[in-house]
Structure 1
Amino acid sequence: MNIPRPPGPRDRFFGLGMLRSMARDYLGFWGRAQQTYGDSLYVSVAGQGTYSFMDPDLIRECLVEKADSFVRYEHHMNVLRQVHGESVLITEGDTWKKQRRTLQPGFSPKRYEGYAQQMADAAETVLDKLVSHQGQAFDFEQAMNMLTMDVILRTMFSARVEQDTAAIEHAVCLLSEIAYDDMFYPFSLPDWLPLPRKKAKRRAMQLLDDLIWSHIRRRRASGEQHNDLLGMLLTAADNEGDGSLLSDEQVRDQLMTTFLAGHETTAAGLTWAGWVLASHPEQAFKAAEEVDAVLEGRVPTFADIARLPYLGQVVKETLRLYSPAPGVFMRQAAQDVQIGPWLLPKGSLVTLLSSLVQRDARWFADPARFDPDRFAPDAARQIPRGAYFPFGTGPRVCIGMSFASMEMTLILAMLLQRYTLRPGPGQEQPGMRLQVTMRPEGGLRLMLAKRPARPAGPAAPPASAPGCPYQHA
């Protein structure tokens, strides 16, 4: 049967040349293909058909309307399973639904007031220390990595990290890099092989496992009750199912996913937010004015999130331009399914890339320009559904979406209370490096200047950052 397929690039070597191009620059490969062939694309690699849709209506058809016709691509999940185990990120069907129900209370609004306090405590500690960098360029990405690590450990375990934070951060980055590379191979070599990269992976996994297991065992031994994610998981029962509790292994898997996803993606989002605030002083000034007027120098709380609408728009626009997770996990058709005019046979793969759709001039005028007013209420209503999905959409939308948005908003509010940012000497517009999450190529070096605790009265916006050609980009 000859099934009509969308157009797309081809090569003569079973698509292996295209696979190498994807591994080098995944977003660039699909972006160039869209420019040449349009919004519906098809490629074949070693006989495996892969579709990509850039039209918002077709994206919603895949992720919302016909979500039950897809599962996550098994090979990618097998790569991630090595670290995440059988967590909510990996599982499918009834197992996933049960895990989602079990985890949902940990991400309910009634818990967010406590989470906000823990976030603010962590932010005060880290941000106050940044004053020592005043007048010199410093590694802003590393600072955000350390801050979000502290936040996630406080909310998970009601504890500060006791291990070497630099070693933990290195382990997280190494595992992301290896996972991204492994996703472009049709199979994964066994981890027990005595290869240097495998040894490094085993050490990194052991370090993170020790971190998670030490808290589980300590809590079990003490019998203490804490209002944190670990406490919730240890007592959580699936009241809509059989009412069973989670095993320690299941608790470990959910905590590992929460730690990696909750720390790494938020750190990337805050890093990019630092760049846009440093390179767009007018918008940064407007956000700081709002923060000063609402907070009057005090520490923000969960209730303040709704009172900082412009800062919320800054967060949304940052995530539009620089999605930390620029594509939802690749889907695989569990059955023949019709998407728009195309019949996707069972087993077909689908890749949906938020980063490309969110930079499309049809949905966002002058898309490379940083403009938080795109998300003002009236303007936001004009954005087509399916054109903005930095956390995914549909049944498998990121369970931590509200948590991450709150964390970014609170931390940025406290950052703006204390400092103004500008690019460090020689720091130009960073390239985007994709390794599961999207990070600035080569890191990000910024400079800061301490602000008064609260401005005494109205002031003129600061002059454009000297030597920064991207302030109106």
Structure 2
Amino acid sequence: QMLDVVFAAGLGLVMALAYYVYDSQYWARRGIAQVPGKLFLGAARSVLKLKEPRLLVLRDWTKQYGKTYGFKEGTKNVLVTSDVDIVNEVFSKQFDNFYGRKSGILSPDPDKDLQVHLFQSRGPRWKRLRALSVPTFSIASLKKVKGIVEDSAIFMVDIMEQRHGSGERFNIHQFFCEYTMDTISKLVIGQKETTLFQNDRVKIVQAMFLRDFDHPVVLAAMAFPFLIPLIKAVMYRLDTDITRASRKLRSEIIDAVTNRIKERAEHPERMGYPQDMLDMFLDASVEGEDIEQHTGFKLSEAKVNKSLSFDEVAMQVVVFILAGFDTTSNGLAYTSWFLANHPEVQRKCQEEIDEFCTEDRISYDDLSQLKYVEATCKEVLRVCPFGAISNSRTCMKDTNVCGIDIEKDTLIEVDVFSMHADKSIWGDDAEEFRPERWLEKNFKIPQIAYGAFGGGPRICIGMRLGLMEEKLALAHLLRRFNIERATEETELKMHGALILTPIDVPVRIVPRN
């Protein structure tokens, strides 16, 4: 009997090994170029490192394997593309087949877990959360909170002047990190005072983003998915810097939502007069027809909850902080770098700001007149789409896309860097930094070809808020200072396994005459 057990175990191991060997050539068997990888892990270790950013690795692979190719990330089949036709099919035309985003190995279940936010959710749940969140990011809502954002922008420039107004070199990125977190804390956590360089949340969120995912626990979960429940149970009980940071942030958010609910109960006269976006989330309500209107897809006959639950409000705040922090702060940092290296672009921005922003405070309508400034922000995101990791979709059922058979659970990732540099889309000057392209009458590209904010029904819901934050910060900074280069280097050093973050953005600010 013992021999039978040993034989059965040995046979099982051989069969499992044979399956992994067979599966390791998943894309090659389908006639699609495949990045070589290791048994069990595939090419996973190449795209999980802090110092070798995934987005840049994909760009390099595109140069080697072409517009569309595949790789194995553990047991996950990943198809990478910068082909606009495929991207349009996945993100828009076949959205019903690709409505899920990439989910982290240790993330909550997007269909069942109560603590799932808009970014992670999918299907009817996503449709409902999206519809409930849309009014919070409308132009009318942005006008209500513009003053909160502007207070932080003015305070940031004041501190920048106090510390570095004499023209010495400094890292401007850290100021934008402080500004963005200050704004977010006021909008969704109920913070009343400005707390630049006194806010612990900056370090907490940076610790969550700027880390190496090439970790034995992550790799084990990728190679052997049946271990994930056990790994989750262990990870949630570990006392590490990351788990402590995550718990502290969630505790602060739960306290903020709880306290605001108590305040609203004690002062019912404030209902309907939101002070910030936290109030807007708590006020949110929606009808079934609104869900269909805001998402473009029909719901089933199932009962629809028409307001956000406590857990959902808390999770909306979580995603607001995580998605809104790195994106806006990095966007401003890269924009400052490009302005310092393209003084003619900076001068045009300043001329436009001087023309339309004549008062101490800038109205939302005047901000909307800054077309060249906005074109500059968009061009920075075209040349350096640092947040493009969100441009992924999970196949929810077997389908065919542009002649390629895609099986359920396959992950589609867009190489936005390569798509944004495609001369067949953007012209011969695709690799040049030229904001003017966005204002030219004959400028026309497929809408899906610009992937800085995603695309299709799941396009970034906070896009307008992010642009407002950037334009307010730039307007108040550039009306008072010139941003100048402080190094002979022409390229920034970057890192980030998720978001592509500059390590240092050395500049000088010089008062304008």
> If the length of structure 1 is used for normalisation, what is the TM-score?
0.86
* Deviation at residue 293 of structure 1 after TM alignment: 1.2
Mapped pair 1:218 → 2:259? yes
For residue 317 of structure 1, the aligned residue among 346, 360, 379 is 379
Which residue is 1:271 aligned to? 333
1:424-463 matches, cutoff 5 A: 424-425=486-487, 428-440=490-502, 442-452=503-513
2:44 touches 2:72 (CA, 8 Å); kept in 1? no
SS in 2 for 1:7: coil
Change (3 A) 1:379 1:138: farther
SS in 2 for 1:144: helix
For residue 424 of structure 2, the aligned residue among 354, 362, 366 is 362
2:114 touches 2:311 (CA, 8 Å); kept in 1? no
RMSD: 2.9
Mapped pair 1:13 → 2:38? yes
| Cα distance between partner residues in 2 of 1:140 and 1:35 | 33
* Deviation at residue 313 of structure 1 after TM alignment: 0.7
| Cα distance between partner residues in 2 of 1:194 and 1:306 | 45
SS in 2 for 1:327: helix
Mapped pair 1:120 → 2:183? no
Q: Which shows bigger deviation, 367-376 or 390-399?
A: 367-376
Change (3 A) 1:136 1:249: same
Q: Residue type of the partner of 2:177? A: N
* Deviation at residue 15 of structure 1 after TM alignment: 7.0
Change (3 A) 1:438 1:191: farther
SS in 2 for 1:357: helix
* Deviation at residue 445 of structure 1 after TM alignment: 1.9
2:48 touches 2:497 (CA, 8 Å); kept in 1? no
Q: Residue type of the partner of 1:115? A: V
Change (3 A) 1:161 1:227: same
| Deviations 1:203-237 (CA, angstroms, capped at 9, x unpaired) | 20122123212321221222243332111222322
2:448 touches 2:456 (CA, 8 Å); kept in 1? no
SS in 2 for 1:422: strand
2:136 touches 2:280 (CA, 8 Å); kept in 1? yes
| Cα distance between partner residues in 2 of 1:377 and 1:236 | 39
| Count of residues paired in the alignment | 448
Mapped pair 1:142 → 2:174? yes
Mapped pair 1:237 → 2:280? no
* Deviation at residue 139 of structure 1 after TM alignment: 2.0
| Deviations 1:64-94 (CA, angstroms, capped at 9, x unpaired) | 1111102435642743779993111111111
1:79 touches 1:179 (CA, 8 Å); kept in 2? no
Which residue is 1:208 aligned to? 249
Which residue is 2:291 aligned to? none
Q: Which shows bigger deviation, 301-310 or 357-366?
A: 357-366
SS in 2 for 1:378: coil
For residue 473 of structure 2, the aligned residue among 407, 411, 415 is 411
* Deviation at residue 378 of structure 1 after TM alignment: 1.8
> If the length of structure 2 is used for normalisation, what is the TM-score?
0.80
| Cα distance between partner residues in 2 of 1:280 and 1:419 | 15
2:396 touches 2:409 (CA, 8 Å); kept in 1? yes
| Deviations 1:444-465 (CA, angstroms, capped at 9, x unpaired) | 121101124xxxxxxxxxxxxx
SS in 1 for 2:447: coil
Q: Which shows bigger deviation, 291-300 or 185-194?
A: 185-194
Gaps of 5+ in 2: 1-25, 289-302
SS in 1 for 2:491: coil
Change (3 A) 1:438 1:13: closer
Which residue is 1:76 aligned to? 104
| Cα distance between partner residues in 2 of 1:263 and 1:10 | 33
* Deviation at residue 192 of structure 1 after TM alignment: 4.8
1:333 touches 1:349 (CA, 8 Å); kept in 2? yes
Which residue is 1:199 aligned to? 240
SS in 2 for 1:346: coil
* Deviation at residue 425 of structure 1 after TM alignment: 3.9
| Cα distance between partner residues in 2 of 1:161 and 1:222 | 21
1:14 touches 1:45 (CA, 8 Å); kept in 2? no
Change (3 A) 1:289 1:422: same
1:19-418 matches, cutoff 5 A: 19-24=44-49, 25=52, 26-72=54-100, 75-76=103-104, 78-79=106-107, 85-132=115-162, 133-134=164-165, 135-156=167-188, 157=190, 159-160=192-193, 165-178=198-211, 180-181=213-214, 186=222, 189-190=231-232, 192=234, 198-223=239-264, 224=267, 225=270, 226-240=274-288, 242=304, 244-364=306-426, 365-381=428-444, 383-418=445-480
1:14 touches 1:47 (CA, 8 Å); kept in 2? no
Q: Residue type of the partner of 1:177? A: L
Change (3 A) 1:7 1:449: same
Larger Rg: 2
Q: Which shows bigger deviation, 322-331 or 338-347?
A: 322-331
Change (3 A) 1:265 1:191: farther
Q: Which shows bigger deviation, 141-150 or 113-122?
A: 113-122
1:290 touches 1:308 (CA, 8 Å); kept in 2? yes
- Give me the identity figure in percent: 23
* Deviation at residue 120 of structure 1 after TM alignment: 1.2
Q: Which shows bigger deviation, 175-184 or 48-57?
A: 175-184
Change (3 A) 1:122 1:191: farther
* Deviation at residue 162 of structure 1 after TM alignment: 6.3
